[in-house]
Chain A
Amino acid sequence: MEILDIIKPENQVFCKTKLMTDTTLSYCPGCGHGTAHNLTMEVIDEMGIVEDTIGVAPVGCSVLAYDFMNIDMTQAAHGRAPAVATGIARTWPEKYVFTYQGDGDLAAIGTAETIHACNRGENIVIIFINNGIYGMTGGQMAPTTLEGMHTSTSPYGRDIENMGSPLKITELIANLPGVYYVTRQSVHTHKHVRKAKKAIRNAFENTRLKKGLSFVEIVSNCNSGWKMTPNESNIWMEEHMFPYFPLGDIKVNGKLK
């Protein structure tokens, strides 16, 4: 059988949506960022809302999200994406506004902006890529770095007494009345990709219905920062990240699970 016999629409399980540009991704091979981008763009494409969608890119490995997402995007200062999205959503109440942020961006430097945008119940979607590390700057400790985990600023492992516990910001946010939907997903297997896509779709549907803030955490790997092969990083993620950051819905239709 020739390869062209296999590449047919009916055989295609996943493909690049036209809302992803042809620019080569700047992400390390095996990194979850690219999949999370693709899912977000697929949802926007399938909902037919590209004309009314404005994305906000963070500072982190995904700072160049606007090079890959073929939609209107504004790049925010480190941690400020929820405030930037607030400014957009408040002046364009009919638009779909989302932020895409890493754990350092969302749960460290941008904690105040995150909590308050959530508490106000801004009608936006927050997509939160939690890889337990600062990928972009070379693998420093993040607020979500696990206990004992080695990073370049916790070279002997995260010491809870000294450095505090990994922050479960998603659980914290779920307790705020303005937040309508909170879920934690991953994108490392086909099964998880499908679930994550459903969650993102649900989040954007909430925006359509003006339900307030939807928060989709994606626990992801950073094979480079964790100094592992992509496959090793996925196994490590299942064994270490998921027990502390369990997958699943945390709040649905405004009600805690």
Chain B
Amino acid sequence: MAELKLMKGNEALAEAAIRAGVDAYFGYPITPQSEVIEYLMAERPEKRTGMVVLQAESEVAAINMVYGAASTGKKVMTSSSSPGISLKQEGISYIAGAELPAVIVNVVRGGPGLGTIQPSQADYFQSVKGGGHGDYKLYVLAPASVQEMSDFVADAFDIAFKYRAPVLILSDGLIGQMMEKVVLRDQIERITDEDLIKNQGSWATTGKKDRHRNIITSLDLQSEKMEARVHRLQKKYKQMELEDLRYETIQCDDADYLIVAYGSSARISQKAVELARNKGIKLGLLRPITLFPFPKKQLFDLADQVKGILSVELNSGQMVEDVKLAVEHKVPVEHFGRTGGIIHTPEEVLEALEQKIIKHGDFRHHKTRESSIL
């Protein structure tokens, strides 16, 4: 039965994993997401659904346990926060290369280095531009509420199995730690081994029975074969762009100005839209729900309507580069964001919009345009 509860984002995600019929979770503690494994351990999912939960010796080991279980067609996930996600990059690259379904959760904290345990969105580049080595992308879902922390687990697995590709849930310390109401989805039965072999038997390494052997690898020593593999991946990414883009527009219909923001920044920016509207500024918000695929066309079209765009992120300016690429210099695009674990207020966001876009936007825009032509 669907159930209404007050929960932390991290706990909602963990509970959703059990209810989504996930077969295994492998992780290593790190703030601000240790509640995920703590909640799972306390819930005894091995008794509730038969789900395996194991604390690995490192994030490197955890992601490789995910790789192993995923290679057999199991529904498997891990979670961590920024420094731990850096360690997982090798494994994520292998999962992408070997074309395996898996879900990885990053509850982002500030960096670089050990940084801060406070919330941040500074892992945008790492998440959408590859992160690990090689020609691959992740399908990236960015929850902006505890509800989405819960809902996106099953959604992420749907995509992971649809494409046989790794999916990243890119959250942050704010969404992970805050408590909100959440409607939990119904329990889904874990798939039986027999059904798994029936569904995934064409590729998964479940033991060679009544068929040729299955091999999971990311290695192709023949260049033509490797190029074919890379092309196969790129085809999946194209299809994701066509079929599985997700975004939300808030008050964009009559907007003169636009904020682009995801995750916790989108929550704050939504408040800034209200403040602006109270002052008579027609501000709208475009919230990418998937960061890859990115709502490029929607931004390109909105750029014909608005006078300027502010990309609001808890970092020094990362997504703004993709916004600029999408907008193709039609209107000024600026970035605003605090770092170090400081969370900008709606007032600060509105002030940045007024200063950077409404007051100076055109001037700066033309200046950068000229120099880029030279």
Residue B312 lies at the interface, judged by CB distance under 8 Å to chain A = no
- Measured in the bound complex, the distance between the Cα atoms of B213 and A95 in whole Å is 15
Quick one: CB contact mask for B1-34 with A, threshold 8 Å, 1 for yes?
0000000000000000000000110100000000
Residue A35 lies at the interface, judged by CB distance under 8 Å to chain B = no
B58 x A50 contact (CB < 8 A): no
Inter-chain contacts of B98 with A (CB < 8 A): 74-75
Interface core residue of A64, A66, A70, A72 (most chain B CB under 10 Å): A72
Inter-chain contacts of B54 with A (CB < 8 A): 86, 90
Binds A, one of B204-212, B243-251, B256-264, B360-368: B204-212
A75 x B215 contact (CB < 8 A): yes
Interface core residue of B206, B208, B209 (most chain A CB under 10 Å): B208
Binds B, one of A1-9, A51-59, A204-212, A235-243: A51-59
Contact of B205 among A50, A54, A64, A83 (CB under 8 A): A54
Of all chain A residues, which has the CB nearest B210?
Answer: A51
A88 x B57 contact (CB < 8 A): no
- Measured in the bound complex, the distance between the Cα atoms of B204 and A91 in whole Å is 13
| Secondary structure dominating the interface of B | mixed
Contact of A74 among B76, B209, B216 (CB under 8 A): B216
Residue B71 lies at the interface, judged by CB distance under 8 Å to chain A = yes
Given contacts A51-B208, A72-B208, A77-B90, contact A90 B61 (CB under 8 A): no
Contact of B65 among A64, A75, A86 (CB under 8 A): A86
Residue A63 lies at the interface, judged by CB distance under 8 Å to chain B = yes
Query: What count of chain B residues pass the 8 Å CB interface test?
Result: 39
A116 x B72 contact (CB < 8 A): no
A87 x B58 contact (CB < 8 A): no
Inter-chain contacts of B24 with A (CB < 8 A): 87, 90-91
Smallest CB separation, B37 vs chain A (Å): 15
Smallest CB separation, A95 vs chain B (Å): 6
B71 x A84 contact (CB < 8 A): yes
A54 x B72 contact (CB < 8 A): yes
A66 x B68 contact (CB < 8 A): no
Residue A244 lies at the interface, judged by CB distance under 8 Å to chain B = no
Quick one: CB contact mask for B256-294 with A, threshold 8 Å, 1 for yes?
000000000000000000000000000000000000000
- Measured in the bound complex, the distance between the Cα atoms of B193 and A66 in whole Å is 23
A76 x B64 contact (CB < 8 A): yes
B64 x A87 contact (CB < 8 A): yes
Query: What count of chain A residues pass the 8 Å CB interface test?
Result: 33
Of all chain A residues, which has the CB nearest B214?
Answer: A72
Residue B52 lies at the interface, judged by CB distance under 8 Å to chain A = yes
Interface positions of B from 58 to 99, Cβ below 8 Å from A: 58, 60-62, 64-72, 74, 76, 90-91, 94, 98
B205 x A72 contact (CB < 8 A): yes
Of all chain B residues, which has the CB nearest A70?
Answer: B213
Inter-chain contacts of B71 with A (CB < 8 A): 74, 84, 87-88
Residue A112 lies at the interface, judged by CB distance under 8 Å to chain B = yes
Inter-chain contacts of A63 with B (CB < 8 A): 219
Smallest CB separation, B144 vs chain A (Å): 31
Residue A169 lies at the interface, judged by CB distance under 8 Å to chain B = no
Contact of B213 among A52, A72, A76, A80 (CB under 8 A): A72
Inter-chain contacts of A66 with B (CB < 8 A): 213, 215, 217
- Measured in the bound complex, the distance between the Cα atoms of B57 and A87 in whole Å is 13
Contact of B52 among A72, A83, A90, A116 (CB under 8 A): A90
Of all chain B residues, which has the CB nearest A67?
Answer: B215
- Measured in the bound complex, the distance between the Cα atoms of B205 and A53 in whole Å is 9
Interchain Cβ contacts under 8 Å between A and B, 24 examples: A52-B207, A64-B219, A66-B213, A72-B205, A73-B213, A73-B216, A74-B98, A76-B67, A77-B64, A77-B94, A80-B91, A83-B64, A83-B65, A84-B64, A86-B56, A87-B26, A87-B68, A87-B69, A90-B54, A92-B193, A92-B206, A95-B207, A113-B57, A116-B56
